[in-house]
Amino acid sequence: MSTYQSQLDRGSQTQQGGGFRQDNPNPMVQAAQQGSVEAMEFQLWVSQQATSLAKLKIFSSMAKNVNDQQ
């Protein structure tokens, strides 16, 4: 994620000729970038939750198998 963000920063620094200045950034661009960051964070959180759920399902299945054998 830090690589993606650094590429965004580099890209915005190299495109200063389009009427965008570093001292007065476009609020719409800032809002879009913030939304992008929040979306990536949410996707990471969802992925972590899915991984945790998968681990719990495996553990539950293993525990059930052990319980059934006794």
pLDDT digits (tens, 9 = 90+) for 2-55: 555 565 566 555 555 555 555 667 999 999 999 999 999 999 999 999 999 999
SS3 of 25, please?
coil
What Rg, from alpha-carbon coordinates, does the chain have?
A: 22
pTM for the full predicted model = 0.53
CA distance 37 to 43: 10
